[in-house]
Structure 1
Amino acid sequence: MKISQILDKVESGDIALPEFQRGYVWTRDQVRGFFQSLYRDYPIGGFLTWSTKAESADTRGGPTGKDGTIQLLLDGQQRVTTLYGVTRGAPPRFFEGKPETFSGLHFNLESEAFEFYGPAKMKDNPFWVDVSALFRDGLASRLAVISALAAGDSTLLGVYMERLNSIVQIRDRDVHIDEVTGSDKTIDVVVEIFNRVNSGGTKLSKGDLALAAICASWPDARGVMNDALGTWAKAGFDFKLDWLLRNANGVITGEAEFTKLAEVSVADFKEGLPETIEHISYLLNSLGSRLGLDHNRVLNGRGAFPVMSRLLRHHGGSFPDAMTRDRLFYWYVHSFLWGRHTGATETALNQDLQALDEGDVDALIAVLRRSRGHLDIRPDDFLASGMGSRFYPLLYLLTRVHGAQDFVSGVPLRDNMLGRLSSLQIHHIFPKARLYEHGYGRGEVNAVANFCFLTQGSNLKVGSKPPAVYLEEIEERMPGALASQWIPTDRELWRLESYPDFLAARRKLLADAANSFFEVLHDGPSPVALADRAAAVLTSAPRPEPAQAPDDVPGLAALVSELEGAGFALPEYEAEVCEPTTGEAITVAAAYWPQGLQTEVGAPVVLLQHPTGAEQAALEAGDFRVFHSPEALHRYVDHLRAEYAAS
């Protein structure tokens, strides 16, 4: 089938791009390399479609086939989206990503190179041809310009015409399409076929295909989901499409496996999806008001949301009483502290959903206690480092629920002080610069037990004063402020040489505070009344400032900025990296790309400067790509970009 026919069928709806989570993930280097391959008539591979029934007559691009079927493009999504965007000058209606990735592609008549528009090189330079404009206006639109460039040389004019014609004729190129058809081609079978065909690329999940089938019959499903994701993003929470789909699956079916979603009718999904969205908003409001977990950086345990949303369905959309809410939140916090849903997600999630349906919140806690052995917080649990560790949100939670005091103003750090209406201010009790001067390592410097929270003004006033100096000043001027932040008041511990002993003492104080709070959550009475049901819709709030690259990793900020400009994914900083099967924490990385440098393409990437032998072995066993410096990662990225350009 010709490329132009495929694009026409995409626009008409006869061939639809499935509603996969990853959206458009190609970089400009890949777009440029792809068109270079098309221009040179290199092989670009075939496409794979799956013929499935569409219950409605309308799809995203128009009516479906006469027999009520639709061809879902399983393999070739990135290539077709690129072809559509460049040849038609605009992204397709279902597009998700950065349209600038393929806008502005130009071709040089002399060098025959494809590059993206750069004013210094291309402005007022007639040898650079806008590729999208060429497809839109046709070859005749360039005739006057290239005639002038040829300056009467008919041979040169012919060369220029032939080169532009080679671009225009890309639309007439034939590509092979394999079709998966037949009633025996279930989701399980199609996923297996796809992953065998596409063994070197991004794997297709059963959730991908289930959502694709749903959207073939209900084209607005993705729009409804994206509207909800946008609402939560405005309130400071970043969620992914597959996460929302897993929540809907849990609410509607009570099961974790996406194959169950294939058994749900479109009518039931249309009813269950808005219900799921409302449950999630209600939970976010409740977690913010009861636990202080009010923004993205501190909302761990997202894998537990299908269980909590399912509980709300059992009770008509709200908690029946404050005690049920508090015990559920007791289970929720412990579930993310111990990595309940970070390993074999579906296995643990199914156990929890079954326990909830057969029992209640106490049954959930019992399952977690059996898998964990105990649910006590011990001082050594706070040995973790970095904002990406599981115990960082617990420190924030304790700060909020206990009304810890700001060092300068003495104001309790409660609602609207951190996260939502001002940037999250982390304060290193022992300043980083002072610790590095005394030879402490990065993990010690960024220990969670060395963190506390301050307002921005207070953080600036404290600066990098020696702790023995500024802690004494605070204790004299604002008695009780240090104790409210669980900072030991033994002056001997405030000396830089006593830093390890300070951390040990503070870990003990934090563990005691956590256990006391959990006891209240589990046993009551609850000091916080239930939120009004009308509060189920989140209000928009300014988001926290984006995380910054650690200032003790030279070159990382510049590298990330360059990667972002080239279309690569942004990393998580100071992030905990877990073993993919068990969910056990391996280390805290300076930067971490959990879904690869391109979202959901390639292996997870970890930047860790000085790993131990055990950490390095565990990361390699978990199929992580590990780099020990920004320079090494930069060389790897340069290699990738060279491969894309040469493809």
Structure 2
Amino acid sequence: MSFQTPITIASALERIHRREYVLPAIQREFVWSRDKITRLFDSLMRGYPIGSFLMWQVQEGNSGRFTFYDFMRDYHERDNAHCAPTGPLGSRAVTAILDGQQRLTALNIGLYGSFTAKLPRMWANNPLAYPKKFLYVDLLNRGQDDDLGVEYDFRFLAPEEATAGTESGDAHWYRVQDVREVRTVRDAVRTLQHRGIVDNDTAGDVLSRLQEVVHVTPTVNFFLEEAQELDKVLNIFIRVNSGGAVLSYSDLLLSVATAQWGERDARETIHRLVDELNAVGQGFAFSKDLILKTGLVLLGKGDIRFKVDNFDRETMTNLEKHWSDIEGALRLGVALLADFGFSGVTLTANSVLIPLAYHLHHRNLGENYRTSDASRDDRAAIRRWLQRSLMKSGVWGSGLDRLLTGLRTTLEKEGGHGWPTEAIEREMARQGKSLRFEPAEIDDLLDLKYGSKRLFPMLAMLYPGVDTRDHFHEDHIFPRSLLRSRAKLRKTGVPEDALPLIEDRADRAANLQLLRGGENTSKQASLPADWLRKHFRSDAERESWLREFDAIDLPEDVTGFLEFYDVRRERMRQRLVALLDVHTHTDQGPAAVALGAGQTVPDDEPDPGNEGL
């Protein structure tokens, strides 16, 4: 390894675009934020060192042995977040970046590309949620910003933002990538003349400094490794990248897998799977970490911790060999979670997918498992276990690897013919993860507020008549817009001393229900009694709904809300105590709990043909 003559940023980026500089498969994705990019440019402008780079010289004739990727240029959070493979490079020599990818990519985006991220508080499917933004610098502003710690004002702006409030549209913000054409001081002067600010000293200083940083100063200092053995290069990469906290182990291990797989591109395969799993149903938020961890579990590795030794060549070979089966189990597991109504919003712990995938993989189950009558009881048992484990605090936190290993052993021994609920819960209790609920925990669950992730599994367990395969919402029975407005409540005649109580209970579980999306849209802010009369054709249908959802004696208006809330909360408590087999001092067992006339404890999932509410 030898230190090379430093080069300019312009020269480095030109080599990237000629594909002389490429990314090896062991590199991770680009992960820097816009703020980190702007700070890098500020550091360059201020003459601060940005560190050295480590590069690997792949000799002529060897480049075809390895997989390489292009640098990111136009980053898009949703549509273009992964680097693309270069494809065949022939036999020519290339230089692969082992350390410095994030910095070089940041420079490439700033000087050649764009950064597109979703605007806050906008839906992901809104075409206006992802404005394309370019890096700009304020030519008329230079000075220490004590809050941000920067001297030069770099920002990512849409073109219309950069030109807002100016007559000519080009005086204030300067698009950084335009400096590629400003190669001399004369070029800089012409640029300022065109903008009408040639006499502004600050503008002159900023633009000339930017031109110097990009075209003149040899900023890119690098070491070059010339060894051609992948194992040696991999060890160098691990030594350089595993010492810091920025690179996660999952990034590193995915890189190792990519370097060792032969038939598939591991990074592209796993990233594609993550994207497709996250698009199932109402959407999830699984990560590559979960996929890699699932692979270790399903392969039967004794040690499933994220460490380099667990991703040796033998393990990676087995992972690729069995990938189709592992991928199939993950896809079926996520489809089941979606059938049960879970999503990224309602799934409190993504790790529940791992034992579920192992169960499906161990029994070699296929797509028909989701709907077959023969599997009905098994699906119901899994659903109840998922609900219980996600309602219980602390189950999927610390000690996760030990828990997953224990669940795998139990499923291997006792899960050959169905989900072994009792054995699973014995193992969890042995590890201090008991799914037994105490009376105080029931009260805590019933006091959950709207937006809590633990709320959905509880409501779905209490009221399984809602077909969660359909698009549904967690909805307020009495409209929140009414209960949270003291002015509206006073107009209805609610006593002043009741207002704080109503506000507090408006968002709690006893005023919440599950409704299909269409029903929720039609209900909107209607009072529940009015909505029921419009929604159901007969008194019998209304009464059936009231019993099924513990809403008996529903009042006509909001003046009866507090009494209704207390009665429904108690009915929900009794139902939950029975379902969770909670023994209080006065209980004689779950059969002694009265749920009201005509009510029974639901013991199975909805009939596939029953639309529910």
Q: TM-score range by the shorter chain?
A: 0.5 to 0.7
Tell me, yes or no, if structure 1 residue 312 matches structure 2 residue 360.
Answer: yes
* 1:394-433 pair list within 5 angstroms: 394-398=457-461, 401-403=464-466, 415-416=469-470, 418-419=471-472, 424=473, 426-429=475-478, 431=480, 433=482
Amino acid at match of 1:401: P
| Counterpart position of 1:238 | 284
Cα distance in 1 between the residues matched to 2:240 and 2:197: 56
| Counterpart position of 1:224 | 269
Cα distance in 1 between the residues matched to 2:362 and 2:42: 56
Tell me, yes or no, if structure 1 residue 506 matches structure 2 residue 538.
Answer: no
| Counterpart position of 2:543 | 479
Cα distance in 1 between the residues matched to 2:183 and 2:480: 64
Cα distance in 1 between the residues matched to 2:190 and 2:233: 56
Match of 1:365 among 425, 437, 444: 425
Q: Identify if the C-alpha distance between structure 1 residues 106 and 435 changes in structure 2 by more than 3 Å, giving closer, same or farther.
A: closer
* 1:91-170 pair list within 5 angstroms: 103-106=134-137, 108=139, 113-115=153-155, 116=157, 117=159, 118-121=162-165, 124-125=169-170, 128-135=173-180, 138-139=183-184, 144-146=190-192, 162-169=208-215
Q: Identify if the C-alpha distance between structure 1 residues 490 and 183 changes in structure 2 by more than 3 Å, giving closer, same or farther.
A: same
Q: Identify if the C-alpha distance between structure 1 residues 500 and 110 changes in structure 2 by more than 3 Å, giving closer, same or farther.
A: closer
Tell me, yes or no, if structure 1 residue 391 matches structure 2 residue 459.
Answer: no
Task: Report the secondary structure of 1:402's partner residue.
Answer: coil
Task: Report the secondary structure of 2:98's partner residue.
Answer: strand
Cα distance in 2 between the residues matched to 1:524 and 1:41: 69
Q: Identify if the C-alpha distance between structure 1 residues 264 and 109 changes in structure 2 by more than 3 Å, giving closer, same or farther.
A: farther
Cα distance in 1 between the residues matched to 2:360 and 2:518: 40
Per-residue CA shift, 1:373-411, capped at 9, x if unaligned? 4545854252342344353222442477324xxxxxxxx
**Larger C-alpha radius of gyration, 1 or 2?**
2
Q: State whether residues 24 and 67 of structure 2, in contact with CA within 8 Å, keep that contact through their aligned partners in structure 1.
A: no
* 1:266-415 pair list within 5 angstroms: 266-289=316-339, 291=340, 293=341, 295-318=343-366, 321-338=375-392, 339-360=394-415, 361-362=419-420, 363-370=423-430, 371-375=432-436, 379-398=442-461, 401-403=464-466, 415=469
Count of residues paired in the alignment: 498
| Counterpart position of 1:626 | none
| Counterpart position of 1:57 | 66
Match of 1:34 among 34, 40, 50: 40
RMSD: 5.2
Per-residue CA shift, 1:499-531, capped at 9, x if unaligned? 663353133244157449x99xxx98888689x
Give the CA deviation at 1:244: 2.6
Q: State whether residues 45 and 210 of structure 2, in contact with CA within 8 Å, keep that contact through their aligned partners in structure 1.
A: no
Cα distance in 1 between the residues matched to 2:526 and 2:56: 64
| Counterpart position of 1:556 | none
Q: State whether residues 305 and 401 of structure 2, in contact with CA within 8 Å, keep that contact through their aligned partners in structure 1.
A: yes
Match of 2:98 among 52, 72, 82: 72
Amino acid at match of 1:225: I
Cα distance in 1 between the residues matched to 2:175 and 2:385: 58
Q: Identify if the C-alpha distance between structure 1 residues 357 and 273 changes in structure 2 by more than 3 Å, giving closer, same or farther.
A: same
Cα distance in 2 between the residues matched to 1:452 and 1:124: 53
Q: Identify if the C-alpha distance between structure 1 residues 439 and 155 changes in structure 2 by more than 3 Å, giving closer, same or farther.
A: closer
Q: State whether residues 111 and 180 of structure 2, in contact with CA within 8 Å, keep that contact through their aligned partners in structure 1.
A: yes
| Counterpart position of 1:44 | 50
Tell me, yes or no, if structure 1 residue 454 matches structure 2 residue 489.
Answer: no
Per-residue CA shift, 1:319-364, capped at 9, x if unaligned? 5944444434443333222242233322322222233334434232
Amino acid at match of 2:248: S
Q: State whether residues 107 and 131 of structure 1, in contact with CA within 8 Å, keep that contact through their aligned partners in structure 2.
A: no
Q: State whether residues 49 and 177 of structure 1, in contact with CA within 8 Å, keep that contact through their aligned partners in structure 2.
A: yes
Q: Which runs of 5+ in 1 are unaligned?
A: 404-412, 531-647
Cα distance in 2 between the residues matched to 1:324 and 1:167: 65
Cα distance in 2 between the residues matched to 1:316 and 1:359: 15
Q: Identify if the C-alpha distance between structure 1 residues 91 and 480 changes in structure 2 by more than 3 Å, giving closer, same or farther.
A: closer
Tell me, yes or no, if structure 1 residue 434 matches structure 2 residue 483.
Answer: yes
Q: State whether residues 248 and 272 of structure 1, in contact with CA within 8 Å, keep that contact through their aligned partners in structure 2.
A: no
Moved more, 170-179 or 206-215: 170-179
Per-residue CA shift, 1:120-151, capped at 9, x if unaligned? 15654256432213226745866644465689
Per-residue CA shift, 1:232-257, capped at 9, x if unaligned? 34432222232333223322344531
| Counterpart position of 2:296 | 249
Q: State whether residues 250 and 288 of structure 2, in contact with CA within 8 Å, keep that contact through their aligned partners in structure 1.
A: no
Give the CA deviation at 1:191: 7.2
| Counterpart position of 1:258 | 306
Moved more, 49-58 or 244-253: 49-58
Give the CA deviation at 1:88: 3.0
| Counterpart position of 1:24 | 31
| Counterpart position of 1:489 | 553
Q: State whether residues 8 and 214 of structure 2, in contact with CA within 8 Å, keep that contact through their aligned partners in structure 1.
A: no
Q: Which runs of 5+ in 2 are unaligned?
A: 1-5, 71-85, 117-123, 143-151, 487-498, 582-589, 592-601
Structure with the bigger RCO (C-alpha within 8 Å, sep 6+) is 1
Q: State whether residues 57 and 68 of structure 1, in contact with CA within 8 Å, keep that contact through their aligned partners in structure 2.
A: no
Cα distance in 2 between the residues matched to 1:401 and 1:266: 42
Q: Identify if the C-alpha distance between structure 1 residues 466 and 149 changes in structure 2 by more than 3 Å, giving closer, same or farther.
A: closer
Task: Report the secondary structure of 1:258's partner residue.
Answer: coil
Per-residue CA shift, 1:432-465, capped at 9, x if unaligned? 6436641038664322232113356655676656
Give the CA deviation at 1:428: 3.8
Give the CA deviation at 1:108: 1.8
| Counterpart position of 2:106 | 82
Give the CA deviation at 1:37: 1.9
Q: State whether residues 126 and 145 of structure 1, in contact with CA within 8 Å, keep that contact through their aligned partners in structure 2.
A: no
Give the CA deviation at 1:190: 7.9
Q: Identify if the C-alpha distance between structure 1 residues 311 and 149 changes in structure 2 by more than 3 Å, giving closer, same or farther.
A: closer
Q: Identify if the C-alpha distance between structure 1 residues 461 and 70 changes in structure 2 by more than 3 Å, giving closer, same or farther.
A: closer
| Counterpart position of 1:207 | 250
